[in-house]
Amino acid sequence: MNDKLQKIRQQFPILNCRVNDKPLVYLDNAATTQKPLSVIDRMTRYYMEENSNVHRGLHHLSQLGTAAFEESRRAFQKFLNSELAEEVIFTKGTTESINLLAFSFGEAFVHEGDEIIISVMEHHANIVPWQQLCARTGAVLKVVPVNDAGELEMEEYKKLLGPKVKLVSIAHVSNTLGTVNPVAEIIRLGHEAGARVHLDGAQAAAHVQVDVRALDVDFYSLSVHKMYGPMGVGILYGKAALLNAMPPWQTGGEMIDKVTFEKTTFGDLPYKFETGTPDVAGVLASVPALEFLQEVGWDFIAEREHALVKYATEKLAQIGGVSLVGTAKEKGGVVSFNIDGVHSSDAATIFDHFGVAVRSGHHCAQPIMARYGIIGTLRASFAVYNTEEEIDVLVKAIEKTVQMFG
């Protein structure tokens, strides 16, 4: 293990845990990443020294909290390279971001007979809100298929694009297959057809640098807990012109301009989309998570993830009866696989006794499971702190599983 990797691991106290009397091998990073001490300390400091509601009081602590909260927004503006800070809407995660978008964009722009394009590899969070929108409005959901390797069928995508398509909503990186989608092309083609494009960045934002202006993407969603930050914080980025044209989703305090019993007028961006008390501690502790990513650097992140995926893919291929699901050329830090004749839940139970944490099941993406005719997979997903030695432990666990169930 090189020095840099060792220094990174030292920042994550949980990596020293033992599970079932074995050192924890945490390979479930696509579900959530672990948090560095800087994030944990920031949360603690907030509750020890700063706790107060934001955007409300005139007293010292509230002012302090509000200033820090808006500083976090600017940190995300910089992180995503958005033009304006108010294009960054705080949500509680990608799922809420997409629900907000489906409601508000739907209200403003989607009518009966219009079309929404998603793909077969989407997480349920990027399927169900659109289905619901279609059910409410009479719009039609169109689905881009994938090939056997787990790549989008771009020719089919082109065929689906037409004048009725109002929005394309596609995963930047697939949570199940690890496929990195050709988002620049997806956006360009969508725009040429007159559609708006949203990217579900839940599995991308901690793995590749996201530049919303370079991408020219209209909307982008992410979850901070999947990028070394706290639970309960997400972002919906949207171009200001579009967000301004969209009505609020949830309504209540903080997002209003003026309320009488006859009529309410709403506040400006970003507040019209942020009603209720936010997770202030989480929003503030997101900043050290972004700093962690910057310090580690995108080159190092890419280099390590590629190395880990390559190593795991080679090692798994040597075990008889293991088949990979998702073999796209462009792949993020995810290795999904099945063991012949062994149910994924049985395997995960055995892995747990080796201290190995992986995800098993359908990963909230049943349509892609149906595409491959399987009910689930085992998914090892990597973060920048994972090591080749940890993959060796996974391999041992797989070998034992094969022996027990074979």
- Interface residue list for other proteins (CB under 8 A): 20, 342-346, 348-350, 352-353, 360-362, 375-376, 400, 404-405
In angstroms, the CA 404 to CA 406 distance is 6
Residue 364 annotated among the catalytic residues of the structure: yes
In angstroms, the CA 114 to CA 119 distance is 17
In the complex with other proteins, the residue whose CB is nearer, 70 or 346, is: 346
CA atoms within 13 A on the CB side of 271: 17
In the complex with other proteins, the residue whose CB is nearer, 315 or 400, is: 400
Burial of residue 179, with CB atoms counted within 10 A of its CB: 0-12 exposed, 13-18 middle, 19 or more buried? buried
Residue bearing tokens 């009725």: 164
Q: In the complex, what is the shortest distance from the CB of residue 353 to other proteins, in angstroms, rounded to a whole number?
A: 5
Between the alpha carbon of residue 47 and those of residues 52, 279, 347, the distances in Å are 9, 12, 41
Q: In the complex, what is the shortest distance from the CB of residue 349 to other proteins, in angstroms, rounded to a whole number?
A: 5
In the complex with other proteins, the residue whose CB is nearer, 311 or 405, is: 405
Catalytic residue (one of 189, 302, 319, 364): 364
In the complex with other proteins, the residue whose CB is nearer, 70 or 352, is: 352
Q: In the complex, what is the shortest distance from the CB of residue 386 to other proteins, in angstroms, rounded to a whole number?
A: 23
What is the β-pairing status of strands 22-23 and 18-19? antiparallel
Across-strand partners of 236?
Answer: 89, 221
The 3-state DSSP class for residue 64 equals: helix
Q: In the complex, what is the shortest distance from the CB of residue 365 to other proteins, in angstroms, rounded to a whole number?
A: 12
Q: DSSP for 295-317? A: HH-HHHHHHHHHHHHHHHHHHHH
In angstroms, the CA 58 to CA 53 distance is 10
Q: In the complex, what is the shortest distance from the CB of residue 389 to other proteins, in angstroms, rounded to a whole number?
A: 22
The residue type found at 130 is W
In the complex with other proteins, the residue whose CB is nearer, 191 or 400, is: 400
Q: Which residues have a catalytic role annotated? A: 364
